[in-house]
């Protein structure tokens, strides 16, 4: 079992001049290290952080402002929509509605991609799950926003389209904003993973978890075990492996919000699973805006994310709401899960 690490070092929260390392400063300093960067990604990340602050504020007041409960509608996935799903989606749409950089916005809550810009600067496709962990929203549980920023190869001078996106490897940035006892902003642009905490008093995200590293193995596993009899034999066998023996060191943690479980794995090691089952023969979780962004974060932190048979980031995109089986977290734990799947195929 990995020894607990002190990740909340105050040194990490400071720049070289001793000043506080805000998210804006961190993003701009990272941009300066890339001589060819034009600042576009910085604009997008800061806009996501802005949307996160608005949503964080609204979530804290959601019971007081009567924003809890279902809307009575269903989304394209057939899931009952919550008022907070709609608010989260509207917040993101509004934050990017006038962006010249985003060609299309894909969201769990929208049937079709929203076309935003069509000029030659429109190089990005933004994929979001505005409210991960919807079932937690009415019970004051942890929820999150997941984002993947894709810059697909495209014709010179033309705007990007969703059809240009080939896989999660087309992401140039990804991360999540997690609304728990505190609000975290965790992101990568391919140069490691950095975690920030919102200081509500000053309205700034401050660096609290610099250069996050996912322990290669760890004690926690999270899955909806009510579905276990509907899983493939390999996945069932893996759970038996985790729960067998007298000296087992594993602990079950399943929060109802994928991001919260992945965040735990990132800090303390472990694995999150949502394999295919009878109700979800292709898996439940969506590739573009749930699995691929979290896979990019995990790989950048030394962790892994797999469909059971291939890396999530290598899975070709077929449609915007495409689902995949998902196993993600510590590198060694994911490798063991893949071995069980391979041996039982
Ligand atoms: P959501 O985006 O509608 O909340 O769906 C994704 C969530 C994950 O965060 C969570 O781990 C899983 O669905 C829970 O599903 P289940 O209730 O089937 O266990
Ligand atoms: Mg979701």
Q: What is the total count of domains within the chain?
A: 2
CA torsion through residues 153, 156, 159, 161, sign:
negative
Name the closest-CA residue to atom 15, ligand 1: 256
- Residue at a domain's end among 166, 186, 209: 209
Q: What percent of the chain has pLDDT over 70?
A: 94
Name the closest-CA residue to atom 17, ligand 1: 256
Structure confidence by residue, pLDDT tens digits, 145-188 = 999 999 999 887 888 899 999 999 999 999 999 999 999 999 99
Q: Is the pLDDT of residue 320 over 90?
A: yes
DSSP 287-299: IIIIIHHHHHHHH
Select from 327, 139, 116, 158 the least CA-distant residue to 242: 327
For residues 33 and 180, membership in a common domain is answered with yes
Distance from Cα 128 to the centre of ligand 1, integer Å: 15
Q: Is the pLDDT of residue 206 over 90?
A: yes
- Residue at a domain's end among 209, 238, 262: 209
Mutate to test the pocket of ligand 1, among 177, 179, 254, 274 (most ligand atoms within 8 A of CB): 274
Domain that holds residue 30: 23-209
Average pLDDT on 203-230 reads 96
For residues 99 and 168, membership in a common domain is answered with yes
Structure confidence by residue, pLDDT tens digits, 243-267 = 886 666 789 999 999 999 999 999 9
Element (H, E) at 96: helix 83-96
For residues 176 and 40, membership in a common domain is answered with yes
For residues 188 and 266, membership in a common domain is answered with no
Mutate to test the pocket of ligand 1, among 142, 144, 146, 224 (most ligand atoms within 8 A of CB): 224
pLDDT band at residue 223 using 50, 70 and 90 as cut-offs: very high
> Does residue 257 belong to any structural domain of this protein?
yes
* Predicted structure pTM score: 0.94
> Does residue 4 belong to any structural domain of this protein?
no
For residues 49 and 159, membership in a common domain is answered with yes
Mutate to test the pocket of ligand 1, among 132, 136, 286 (most ligand atoms within 8 A of CB): 132
Distance from Cα 303 to the centre of ligand 2, integer Å: 21
> Does residue 61 belong to any structural domain of this protein?
yes
Name the closest-CA residue to atom 2, ligand 1: 132
DSSP 315: S
- Residue at a domain's end among 165, 181, 209: 209
> Does residue 214 belong to any structural domain of this protein?
no
Q: Is the pLDDT of residue 213 over 50?
A: yes
What pLDDT, on the 0 to 100 scale, is given for residue 246?
Answer: 62
> Does residue 307 belong to any structural domain of this protein?
yes
For residues 138 and 196, membership in a common domain is answered with yes
For residues 35 and 171, membership in a common domain is answered with yes
For residues 190 and 244, membership in a common domain is answered with no
Name the packing angle between helices 23-32 and 40-60 (round to 10°): 170
For residues 134 and 232, membership in a common domain is answered with no
Torsion of CA 307, 224, 177, 322, to 10 degrees: 40
Distance from Cα 50 to the centre of ligand 2, integer Å: 20
For residues 76 and 176, membership in a common domain is answered with yes
What pLDDT, on the 0 to 100 scale, is given for residue 35?
Answer: 77
CATH at residue 318? 3.40.190.80
Q: Tell the residue number behind the tokens 């391979």, with chain if given.
A: 342
Distance from Cα 71 to the centre of ligand 1, integer Å: 18
For residues 91 and 138, membership in a common domain is answered with yes
For residues 236 and 159, membership in a common domain is answered with no
């Amino acid at each position: 079992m990995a020894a607990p690490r002190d990740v909340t070092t105050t040194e990490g929260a400071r720049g070289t001049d001793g000043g506080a390392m805000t998210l804006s400063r961190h993003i701009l300093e990272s941009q300066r290290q890339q001589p060819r960067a034009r600042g576009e990604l910085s604009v997008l990340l800061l806009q996501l952080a802005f949307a996160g602050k608005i949503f964080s504020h609204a979530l804290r007041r959601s019971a007081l402002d009567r924003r809890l409960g279902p809307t009575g509608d269903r989304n394209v996935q057939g899931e009952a929509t919550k008022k907070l799903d709609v608010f989260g989606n509207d917040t993101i749409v509004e934050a990017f509605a006038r962006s010249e950089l985003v060609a299309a916005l894909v969201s769990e809550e929208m049937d079709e991609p929203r076309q935003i810009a069509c000029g030659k600067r429109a190089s990005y496709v933004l994929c979001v799950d505005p409210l991960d962990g919807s079932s937690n929203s009415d019970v004051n549980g942890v929820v999150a926003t997941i984002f993947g920023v894709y810059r697909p190869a495209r014709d010179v001078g033309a705007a990007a389209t969703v059809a240009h996106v080939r896989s999660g490897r087309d992401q140039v940035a990804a991360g999540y904003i997690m609304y728990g006892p505190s609000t975290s902003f965790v992101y990568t642009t391919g140069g490691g993973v950095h975690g920030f905490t919102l200081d509500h008093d000053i309205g700034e995200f401050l660096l609290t978890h610099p250069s996050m590293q996912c322990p290669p193995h760890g004690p926690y596993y999270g899955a909806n075990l009510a579905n276990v009899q509907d899983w493939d034999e390999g996945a069932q066998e893996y759970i038996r492996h985790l729960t067998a023996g007298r000296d087992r060191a594993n602990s079950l943690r399943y929060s109802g919000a994928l991001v919260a479980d992945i965040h735990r794995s990132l800090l303390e090691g472990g694995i999150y699973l949502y394999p295919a089952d009878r109700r979800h023969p292709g898996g439940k979780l969506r590739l573009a805006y749930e699995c691929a962004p979290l896979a990019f974060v995990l790989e950048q932190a030394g962790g892994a994310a797999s469909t059971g048979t291939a890396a999530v980031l290598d899975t070709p995109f077929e449609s915007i709401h495409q689902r995949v089986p998902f196993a993600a977290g510590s590198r060694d734990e994911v490798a063991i899960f893949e071995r069980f799947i391979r041996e039982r195929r």
